[in-house]
Amino acid sequence: MAELNQVSSADSNRRNFLWILFQWILQVFFAFWLRYQSRGKEHLPAQGGGLLVSNHQSFLDPLLIGLPLNRPVSFMARDSLFRVPILGPFMRYEFVIPISRKAASSQSFRAAIQNIENGNFVGIFPEGTRTVDGTVQRFKPGFLALLKRTDCAIYPIGIAGAFHALPRGAYFLRIRPVRVVFGNPISAELIKQYCENGAEKELLELTRQRVIECQQQAEEWINPKSPN
């Protein structure tokens, strides 16, 4: 299993020349090729940890979410990706947390919890895999275990357009507009109430609906509704 990455305060501030250059190249490339735009990042705190929860449309999603942010996000990704040449070392550099798709690793959850407690973002895709038709699929409840052991908010995110830009089975990035919407958070206080009342299923559905709302806003941003 790949070595688990935990973001320390020193790591959070690390911005060497190569990463800055990579970020700039991505910003220019995505702006040109995907007409990439995002909004709502002001809903994310300038400091402190949190759980970023997003729909999953393509392999581009972690880059699309992290692109407008000023501090790192430790995404949880399946461990098999760490064996891919180039991608694996890059994921380690970017503090991606490996997790088995067969069985959630306690080490992975400890790393995620530690990152949040250190004041960093952890990003997850609760659908578990990329969407097959562009819609938001059912959420798997595994991430609720993180919420029971941390005092953090959920920050819902909706991605639109990435499914058409890089669908399943595609080897080349298509020219399609992509939008990302960061929504209003679900507060730590509200999460605690749900968990204390044994209403985890309701919290799971609330989170999914918030993500769907963000995704629909992103879709409407790409294809505005005609006025009546």
Instruction: Return the pLDDT at 24.
Output: 82
Residue 1 covered by a domain: no
Please state whether beta strands 97-99 and 121-124 pair in parallel, antiparallel, or not at all (unpaired): unpaired
What was the pLDDT predicted at 2? 43
> What pLDDT shows up at residue 43?
97
Residue 3 lies in a domain: no
Residue 111 lies in a domain: yes
Residue 227 lies in a domain: no
Q: Residue 110: inside a domain, yes or no? A: yes
pLDDT < 70 regions, the chain: 1-20, 78-95, 100-105, 226-228
Q: What is the pTM of this model?
A: 0.85
Q: Quick one: pLDDT at residue 139?
A: 97
Using CA atoms, how far apart are residues 191 and 28, in angstroms rounded to an integer?
38
**DSSP letters for 55-77:** ---STTHHHHHHTT-SS-EEEEE
Tell me, rounded to whole angstroms, the distance of Cα 18 from its chain centroid. 23
Residues in contact with 26: Cβ distance below 8 Å, sequence separation at least 6, in sequence order: 63, 67
| 4: in domain | no
User: Facing residues of 77 across strands?
Assistant: 98
Q: Give the residue numbers spanning the domain of 109.
A: 9-222
User: How many distinct structural domains can be found in the chain?
Assistant: 1
Per-residue model confidence (pLDDT) at position 74? 86
Q: Measured between alpha carbons, how far is residue 98 from residues 14, 95, 144, 227 in Å? A: 21, 9, 18, 46
Does some domain include residue 88? yes
3-state secondary structure 95-128: CCEEECCCCCCHHHHHHHHHHHHCCCEEEECCCC
CATH number, residue 49: 3.40.1130.10
Residues 6+ apart with CB under 8 A from 143: 51, 53, 124, 126
pLDDT for the residue numbered 22 = 73
pLDDT of 12 reads 44
54 touches 157 (CB < 8 A)? yes
Within a domain: 66: yes
